[in-house]
Structure 1
């Protein structure tokens, strides 16, 4: 049987636009706190708020996106969100106070929350049902590549040039994402009907797997938040620059296999082993004192966590009727972001009481207990196309 096309124009344009969005996001995420102190004379507390306000806005706006997409259509929301994101990216260079920066970060966060929700929704619709795991895996890989490219570009420009060069670089990527959005052709469009019954802002069917994703995100956030500090403590500062590069490289190598196996054998055949690999990777990270084990940990975490996130999102969208995918995507990302944010706060508190390596070892045990959390979630998550454990025809 001939496979349905995956690499369509819409799939490529939206995936690359998502890559550019996250490059801008990560480039600013790792530099703005320092830039706020250096160029605006802000306190450490205010510097911390520039990212907290951004992520808070994204979390707040996402639950409303599902009903809006259903009413106004995917293309309208895509262009609106990309326009907002690009306009805010251009506006950074014209700010002169911490207060105005915080306001802009809030608006920018709204645009980011909208844009990342609608791109995931579009991909969920354009990927063929028989290749859903494979397609979502490649799409999520754009986020993983941005984890490497965004901080590298942001930190390099911030160090070698100045903050305005960083802002204009972000504006360039944001504008490129906007142009790709304009060039995206979508078959389905929503229609606003006056007096139409309001749709629920959360998708009940997607909540179990969303909670599961947040559970594991708590552990992964410790890697995002404290990798540089941990590497410095272990004398691996130079190697830390390549941690996420190894992470992404191994993930790219594994993606063609894990996505197809998901579609062929079902989610459980992929997710249970990925949890084990993720836990092993965190344990190796906590035990690492040299480059070899440090990079082995990067590869295991890349395959483990990288596979888990895309698989969880695929389960979320497969658990609902196609017309509710936008709401399911918004529900999934909102709950996931709470896990990432909460994990950073918890890790920060623990970092004052124990060594980071110990935190990573404890996190590995926490991850292994997540096997039971996913077991509970997969019993609750019943895709419209059948049980997620069901073997599918290739």
Structure 2
């Protein structure tokens, strides 16, 4: 026993050191809700992460070449600040690819439309439009986009692909995507407003283009492609998506709100010029607006954290926008320009998120060989005191957040 005692003491000491080391590591790790945590996590679990950062280190944007040059997350308040993008930690950490779709997250990703219909690029010819046959093309799901160029404020990604739609039409295309961090002056010019020093902010603009690299013109008769940008954001129980629209006669005829069945009245309010859509990640639902009524701006407000998110995008009122409904379509070019999706449990009880999305789409163009089209989107987040955010909301959206705050329990 005397001979064993020193060994036991040594083992206890080692165990104590190991426990202390693990405790120190846990203490050293940033909190999970922060930008710093997401940055460390992505650097540990993916191979190509790039950061854009303002000179004072407050505004930061995290990009991934592994995931098609998408914006994974951003913050307005430095490394320890709120992380705005939703990340699928389990899927990313697994290092594995799902067969149909890999929802790794990210607050702005590059996709292509249409999703459903006779010109879909997500269903093969003759397939039933149901989830078992749905397949996201690899070029917008699993393919890494090489970095073409990069500096402190902008990164450009590019790749090529071949796609075949439901009707058998082939598309040889080149894709280019740039992400640019905006200065306060550039953002103020783009939005047409200014704001006080009490608000923190981050803003980036993406320019996304597709070029017809084939020998034949793309035509409406055989199908066209649109550029589709989707942002997965982190919700709270008090997140509201706000979408202003043109107050024309019969405006509601140009709003689709039954993608996944009827949205309960307590979750959706449509006035004569604004949609209020509860996006708490607890009820699966989606809506969209046609270019006939859409304005070039959509937003969300998190009443729990005082975060105002704005996206800005171009709208062509008479443009050709693809229809993505999962059915054979009488009007395949009467689709949405802006959408919002609230995640929630599916019929089997499973759920990807929780997250919510704000999306915008480009028109679809009949591109001749060598011709290109592009779609730009501005994304910005403001964080700070409620009154200053409310003034910004009034200026940009024509919406008084105080009125929503007092009524949101009944929306």
Give the alignment's TM-score, normalised by structure 1.
0.25
Larger Rg: 2
Give the alignment's TM-score, normalised by structure 2.
0.25
More helix as a share of residues: 1
More strand as a share of residues: 2
